C-alpha cells in the first residue's frame, strides 16, 4: 500500500528540538537524528529553525547532526527584541535590532551553532517589530548580508500586508534581493491571513509557509474545554510564556465550540482531528488555491 502524500511542500520545524530547560521537548541527539531520517525518507528536505528556539539550543542540536549527508536544507530566523518588549528574552538579554551590525552578529551565531557556512533561507522574524529601524536601512543591510554569501533566499515572517508591500517596493526600487517566502500561522481556526495578506503575497510571487497546521496541538484531540489541564512544558502550559501566548491565540469558548463540531464530523467519518486539520490545509485552504 502506497503512502499518501500531501499536495503541499512539507517543512520540518525545529522548535521542539533543544535543551529541556529552555522548552525543548526532544533533546536526545539520537531521537532528533531518527526524526530527521524519517522526514527525509518521506521525500522532504527543508528544516526551519530560529535563533530564539530553546535559547539557541535548537540550532546547536542541529549542528551536532550530519545534516549535509542527509541532503537537508536549513533555514533560520532572527527576532527583533525592542526595549521593553513583552517577549521571552531567552536568546539574549541585549536589545536586537534589524540593523546591519545586529543582523550580522546574530546570523553568524546561527551559522556557528548550525555548523553551516550558509543558510538556505534567512528570515526577519517579527513577533515584535523593530520599528525603530527604517525598512530602507534594514533592506539595504539584508542585501549586503546576501551579497556576503550568508544565505541563498530571503524570507519574512509575521509582517503586516502593508509592510510586505513596502518591503518589496524598497527592494525592487534599489535592486536588492526580494523576499521569496513568508512564514505565518494558518489552520482551519486561524485564517486571518486570507482577506489581505494572501492576495498581497500572490501579487508579489511570495510563497506562504504555514506554521501551526495543528494549532500548536489544539487539533490533537487532547483539549476539549476551557477547564482542561495541559501537560507541563506543552504549547498550552500556562505557567510558561509560550503557553500564555498560545492560549491567547486558541484557548477561547468560540474555538472549543468549533472544535466540538469538527470532532463530531471526525467521529462520523472515522477520522482524527489531526487528519481533518491536515486534509483541510492540503485540499481546501487558500494555500492550496494559491498553488503554494
Spell out the domains of the chain, with CATH numbers in brackets.
11-179 (3.20.20.100)
Radius of gyration of the chain (CA): 19
Q: What's the Cα-to-Cα distance from 57 to each of 72, 113, 183, rounded to whole Å?
A: 19, 8, 21
pLDDT for residue 121: 82
Burial 175-190 (b: 16+ CB within 10 A, else e): ebbbbebbbbbbbbbb
pLDDT for residue 218: 94
CA 138 to chain CA centroid, Å, is 21
CA angle 144, 46, 25 (to 5 degrees): 105
- Cα dihedral 89, 95, 96, 100, rounded to 10, equals -160
Residue from 22, 53, 135, 223 carrying the catalytic annotation = 53
Q: Are 178 and 252 in contact (CB under 8 A)?
A: no
pTM score of the predicted model: 0.90
Place of cell 486534509: 279
53 is catalytic: yes
10-residue averages of pLDDT along the chain (292 residues): 70 94 92 98 95 92 97 92 54 77 94 95 68 91 96 92 96 97 94 96 95 94 92 85 87 96 96 96 78 46
Amino acid at each position: 500500500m502506497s503512502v499518501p502524500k500531501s499536495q503541499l511542500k512539507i517543512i520540518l520545524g525545529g522548535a521542539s528540538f533543544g535543551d529541556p530547560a529552555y522548552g525543548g521537548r526532544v533533546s536526545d541527539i539520537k531521537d532528533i537524528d531518527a526524526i530527521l531520517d524519517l522526514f527525509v525518507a518521506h521525500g522532504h528536505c527543508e528544516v526551519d529553525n530560529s535563533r530564539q528556539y530553546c535559547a539557541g539550543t535548537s540550532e546547536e542540536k542541529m549542528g551536532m547532526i550530519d545534516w549535509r549527508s542527509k541532503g537537508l536544507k536549513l533555514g533560520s530566523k532572527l527576532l527583533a527584541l525592542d526595549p521593553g518588549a513583552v517577549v521571552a528574552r531567552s536568546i539574549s538579554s541585549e536589545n536586537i535590532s534589524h540593523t546591519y551590525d545586529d543582523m550580522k552578529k546574530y546570523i553568524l551565531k546561527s551559522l556557528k551553532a548550525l555548523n553551516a557556512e550558509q543558510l538556505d533561507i534567512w528570515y526577519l522574524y517579527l513577533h515584535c517589530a523593530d520599528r525603530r529601524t527604517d525598512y530602507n536601512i534594514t533592506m539595504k543591510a539584508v542585501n549586503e548580508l546576501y551579497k556576503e554569501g550568508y544565505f541563498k533566499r530571503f524570507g519574512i515572517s509575521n509582517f503586516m500586508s502593508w509592510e510586505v508591500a513596502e518591503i518589496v517596493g524598497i527592494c525592487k526600487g534599489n535592486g536588492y534581493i526580494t523576499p521569496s517566502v513568508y512564514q505565518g500561522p494558518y489552520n482551519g481556526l486561524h485564517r486571518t491571513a486570507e482577506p489581505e495578506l494572501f492576495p498581497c503575497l500572490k501579487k508579489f510571487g511570495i510563497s506562504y509557509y504555514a506554521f501551526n497546521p495543528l494549532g500548536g496541538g489544539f487539533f490533537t484531540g487532547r483539549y476539549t474545554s476551557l477547564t482542561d489541564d495541559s501537560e507541563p512544558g506543552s504549547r498550552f502550559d500556562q505557567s510558561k510564556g509560550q503557553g500564555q501566548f498560545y492560549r491567547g491565540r486558541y484557548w477561547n469558548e468560540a474555538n472549543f465550540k468549533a472544535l466540538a463540531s469538527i470532532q463530531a464530523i471526525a467521529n462520523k467519518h472515522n477520522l482524527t482531528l489531526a487528519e481533518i486539520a491536515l486534509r483541510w490545509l492540503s485540499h481546501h485552504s487558500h494555500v492550496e488555491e494559491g498553488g503554494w
